């Protein structure tokens, strides 16, 4: 698997752009907002899932670029509202300037959050690599401090620090904590992160258990069957599940756009069979829908960051029912 992925990454520089586009079409809704809206409408009507939208792009080099993201995300919010789609937004703090000027990034995110709050919409800060883990968490805590509670964070099961992060976020935000737990796409160094499949899955299970125990809303983002099975088991032990309102005393993240204390989340175009099964069982499932001009950079960068993705992509083309 590792070798296949590395081979693919090796030939990327000479891979024709049309081929990358053909592959990425399945994972990226399109170049513009209209494509994202129509992809969501189609899938939502067909399957009954809800969505979170991501405008492709991150780690900008000038603060002027942050204005582009601010404007386009404002348009995304307006479109979600006017089209009546069950969706929220996922944003990358570095696209708002986090690695250039933290204060500016904070002000940009606050402006967007205030607009989302006026429409009762939730905003998720995606988690990027370890350089910004703490500053991303700090943004969420600061926004809650000033009364903007429609924001949550993502934590990565592969990072050693994650259990401590869950404890401290939940202790600060109490029942208002809303955490998306994922394995983590960035291949972090072994000094700070698990690097093996089993250890990452154990980390995931422990992180979810800690979130459940500490009254966090649990966004369970994975396509891995054993991880989903473990999550379903943990939910059952907590007497949480389809049609049961969240029984945890201290949990406060509720609303029409939320599941009963938890939801599953999956990427567009990935493991559709599993997504449909969970939906059929009645679970809330949110699909992460990326769109944007930067589809090429996004696809190449993801493959470079984690060559195993190339293997997953190849496998899923051989198994079309999993779309
Ligand atoms: P794993 O990688 O073991 O994959 C399990 C199976 O899923 C594979 O065997 C394959 O069948 C399928 N699969 C997984 N990825 C695939 C792909 N790209 N194409 C085709 N098949 C694939 N990461 C991060 O660092 N910060 C973040 O903010 C987020 N946000 C996020 C949101 C949502 C909704 C999801 C689902 C994921 C993320 N991630 C993320 C990515 C996450 O950290 C992780 O890299 C991927 O979800 C893959 O991990 P799995 O848990 O799916 O397991």
Question: For the chain, what are the domain ranges?
Answer: 29-291
Residues 102-116, mean pLDDT to the nearest whole number: 97
Q: How far is the CA of 298 from the centre of ligand 1 (A)?
A: 15
Distance 243 CA to ligand 1 centre (A): 27
Pick the CATH number of 29-291 from 3.20.20.220, 3.90.1150.10, 2.60.40.1180, 1.25.40.80: 3.20.20.220
Pocket probe mutation, ligand 1, options 20, 158, 182, max atoms within 8 Å of Cβ: 182
Q: What is the pLDDT of residues 249-272, one digit of tens each?
A: 988 877 889 999 999 999 999 999
* pLDDT for 297: 77
For residue 178, report the distance from its CA to the centre of ligand 1, in Å.
Answer: 19
Q: Write down the pLDDT at residue 206.
A: 98
State the closest ligand 1 atom to the C-alpha of 126, by its place in the atom list counted from 1.
Answer: 28
Q: What is the mean pLDDT of the chain?
A: 92
Q: Which pLDDT score is estimated for 305?
A: 67
pLDDT value at position 231?
98
Q: Which atom of ligand 1 is nearest to the CA of 302?
A: 18
Is 201 a pocket residue for ligand 1 (Cβ < 6 Å)? no
Q: Tell me how far the alpha carbon of residue 183 lies from the centroid of ligand 1, in angstroms.
A: 7
3-state secondary structure the chain: CHHHHHHHHHHHHHCCHHHHHHHHCCCCCCCCHHHHHHHHHHHHHHHCCEEEEEECCCCCCCHHHHHHHHHHHHHHHHHHHHHCCCEEEEECHHHHCCCCCHHHHHHHHHHHHHHHHHCCCCEEECCCCHHHHHHHHHHHHHHHHCCCCCEEEEEECCECCHHHHHHHHHHHHHHHCEEEEECCCCCCCCCCECCCHHHHHHHHHHHHHHHHHCCCEEEEECCCHHHHHHHHHHHHHCCCCCCCCCCCCCCCCCCCCCCCCEEEEEECCCCHHHHHHHHHCCCCEEEEEEECCCHHHHHHHHHHHCCHHHHHHHHHHHCHHHC
Band of pLDDT at residue 193, cut at 50, 70 and 90: very high
Does the pLDDT at position 187 exceed 80? yes
Q: Whose CA is nearest to atom 53 of ligand 1?
A: 224
Summarised one tens digit per residue, pLDDT across range 17-35 is 777 777 777 889 999 999 9
**Ligand 1 contact, 156 CB (< 6 A):** yes
pLDDT on residue 22:
74
Indicate if ligand 1 lies below 6 Å from the C-beta of 267.
Answer: yes
Does residue 67 have a pLDDT over 60?
Answer: yes
Ligand 1 touching residue 182 (CB < 6 A): yes
Picking from 44-48, 62-66, 110-114, 157-161, which range would have the lowest pLDDT averaged per residue?
62-66
Going from the Cα of 223 to the center of ligand 1, the distance in angstroms, rounded, reads: 6
């Amino acid at each position: 698997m590792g070798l296949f992925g590395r081979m693919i990454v090796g030939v990327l520089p000479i891979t024709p752009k049309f081929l990358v586009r053909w592959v990425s079409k399945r994972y990226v809704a399109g170049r513009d907002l209209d494509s994202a809206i129509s992809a969501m409408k189609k899938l939502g009507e067909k399957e009954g899932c809800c969505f979170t939208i991501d405008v492709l792009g991150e780690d900008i080099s000038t603060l002027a670029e942050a204005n582009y993201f601010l404007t386009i995300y404002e348009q995304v919010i307006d479109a979600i509202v006017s089209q009546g789609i069950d969706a929220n937004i996922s944003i990358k703090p570095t696209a708002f300037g986090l690695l250039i000027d933290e204060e500016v990034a904070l002000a940009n995110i606050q402006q967007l959050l205030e607009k989302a709050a006026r429409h009762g919409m939730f905003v998720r800060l995606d988690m990027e690599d370890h350089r910004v883990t703490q500053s991303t968490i700090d943004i969420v805590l600061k926004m809650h401090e000033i009364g903007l509670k429609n924001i949550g964070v993502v934590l990565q099961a592969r990072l050693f620090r994650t259990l401590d992060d869950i404890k401290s976020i939940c202790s600060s935000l109490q029942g208002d904590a809303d955490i998306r737990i994922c394995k983590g796409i960035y291949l972090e160094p072994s000094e700070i992160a698990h690097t093996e499949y089993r250890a990452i899955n154990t980390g995931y299970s422990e992180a979810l258990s800690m979130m459940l125990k500490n009254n966090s809303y649990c966004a369970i983002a994975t396509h891995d069957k054993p991880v989903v099975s473990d999550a379903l088991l943990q939910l059952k032990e907590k007497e949480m599940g389809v049609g049961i309102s969240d029984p945890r005393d201290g949990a406060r993240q509720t609303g029409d756009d939320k599941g009963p204390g938890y939801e599953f989340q999956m990427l567009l175009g990935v493991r559709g069979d599993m997504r449909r099964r969970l939906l059929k069982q009645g679970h809330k499932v949110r699909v992460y829908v990326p769109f944007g001009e930067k589809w090429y950079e996004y696809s190449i960068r993801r493959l470079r960051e984690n060559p195993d993705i190339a293997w997953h992509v190849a496998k899923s083309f051989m198994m079309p029912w999993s779309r």
